[in-house]
Amino acid sequence: MGVYIMWFLLCISGIGLCILTLITGNQRMPKVQGFCAFAGLVFFGATVSLSIYDIQTKPEFDTYFMGMQVFPLAMYAWMMYFAIKQLRTHQNKPD
């Protein structure tokens, strides 16, 4: 049960960091934006590794939880892609 709670907390926190990265893009806050993007990547890696750990430690497949992991991870990866893309765009733009 603790794995599920930790997974959801990591996923929601990471998605929040991605949203914060996207919000700070137009406000000239490169340090905050870079930190949020880096922390979001770390949380994404932790979330994926926790998913792999959960799958490997189960004697039987918990298909309900595995199915619930697919959509949030896909949404997380999609948001992280746009956050990193926006971060690169704003870093390459001359001031």
- Decide if 87 contacts 33 (C-beta within 8 A): yes
Q: In this structure, which long-range contacts are made by residues 1-6, counting pairs with CB atoms below 8 Å and at least 24 apart in sequence?
A: 3/50, 3/53, 3/54, 4/65, 6/50
16-29 per-position pLDDT tens digit: 887 887 777 767 77
> Which percentage of the chain shows pLDDT scores above 90?
0
pLDDT per residue over 36-48, tens digit each? 878 888 888 888 8
Find out whether 3 and 50 touch, Cβ atoms under 8 Å: yes
Position 45 scores a pLDDT of 85
Residue 42 is encoded by which pair of tokens?
Answer: 């770390």
CB atoms within 10 A of CB 20: 19
Q: Give the confidence band of 93 by pLDDT, cuts at 50, 70, 90.
A: low
Judged against a pLDDT cut of 60, whether residue 12 lies above it is answered with yes
Domain ranges of the chain: 2-92
Find the farthest-apart pair of alpha carbons in the chain and give their distance in angstroms, rounded: 56
Q: What is the pTM of this model?
A: 0.68
